[in-house]
Amino acid sequence: MCNFCIKHGAGKKWYLNMANYSRDLEKDPERRQVFLKFLEELEKTPVGKIDEQLKAFRIPVLGNILRWKYGRYFEKTHCGQVVPIEDAIAVLNIANPIVRVPCICRHVYGKKEKVCLGFGLISLNLVDKLSFARGHIEQLTADEAKEFVRKCDERGLVHTVWTIKTPYIFAMCQCTHRDCLGLRMRLDYGVKKILRMGEYVSEVDIDEFTGCGECVEACQFKALSVSPRVGRATVDSKKCFGCGLCRAFCPVKAINLTPRLQHSVARSVW
């Protein structure tokens, strides 16, 4: 079991621990203030301003300082983890109530799409205070939310769960590397603590594999490649986040997910 699960999981995956969705955590007035402050500041950020700010992460020395500083902040305040569809469904069996809201990351870039699910009364009662979401909040039943995330999976969107003042879990997002600030900060700017790799890693059944390349197109993390010479797929387990989209898009079902901790290489990479 990973250290994060040991600390927040009570013997299981931390995002399947019901205590992390509890009303006791949700009622914390500081958490509610953090919730509103974080989203209000992001909402007011001018289009393009974030890209300008992120360039500082590429500056030698300064970039390392910023990764350390923001890594500590996000780990305590607002961090996430990639989850495959079956764990996303399991989360929706725990979270209540569930609301679908516009994506704050897409809003920052001038886009509007309701691909985010908010959990608990903190989302139901506070999201409406933010202008980007006001009038666009839709409460869903657990079954409606499950159907929604299944359709997002079919579209090739990565499922991620997120905290506000860790370990309280307040949201699940369905996104892409192009649109998600969390994915971009992890993959493009090396802020590892904002988004953890999933609890799984992909493995290819060579006997079933046909070399069509659908899995490579589906992967948001550039963890898969197909050798044209031998027609064989290779998974870079150090890059694989275990989202399961390659598995979903494989027409011959030649890809499976293996627990990360059972993988000799991937178990040391989070």
Mean per-residue pLDDT, 199-228: 86
Local structure of 175: helix, strand or coil = strand
**Whole-Å CA distances, 226 to 132, 231, 232, 234, 242:** 42, 6, 5, 6, 18
How many residues appear in the chain?
A: 270
Chain segment 6-19, per-residue pLDDT in tens: 889 888 899 999 99
Residue showing tokens 């079991």: 1
DSSP code, position 232: E
Crossing angle of helices 85-92 and 142-155, in 10° steps, is: 160
Confidence at residue 266, expressed as pLDDT on a 0 to 100 scale: 87
- The answer to whether residues 185 and 256 belong to one domain is no
pLDDT above 90 covers what percent of the chain? Answer: 69
Tokens linked to 205:
């059944």
Q: Please report the pLDDT score of residue 34 as a whole number.
A: 93
Does 79 share its domain with 119?
yes
Read off the pLDDT of each residue in 184-207 and give the average, rounded to a whole number: 93
Question: What average pLDDT score do residues 90-97 get?
Answer: 97
Residue 187 identity (one-letter amino acid): L
Structural domain containing residue 171:
3-196
Same domain, 127 and 187: yes
Q: Domain count for the chain, please give it.
A: 2
pLDDT, residue 243, reads 97
Checking if the pLDDT of 230 tops 70, the result is no
Say whether both 26 and 107 belong to one domain. Answer: yes
What pLDDT is attached to residue 112? 87
* Per-residue pLDDT tens digits for 25-77: 999 999 999 999 999 988 888 777 888 889 999 999 999 999 999 999 999 99
Last residue of a domain, one of 148, 175, 196: 196
CATH number of domain containing 211: 3.30.70.20
For residue 172, the one-letter residue type is M
- The backbone region for 234, taken as left when phi is positive above 0, alpha when psi lies in -120 to 50, beta otherwise, is beta
Q: What share of the chain has pLDDT > 70, as a percent? A: 98
Phi/psi-derived region of residue 112, left when phi > 0, alpha when psi is between -120 and 50, beta in every other case: beta
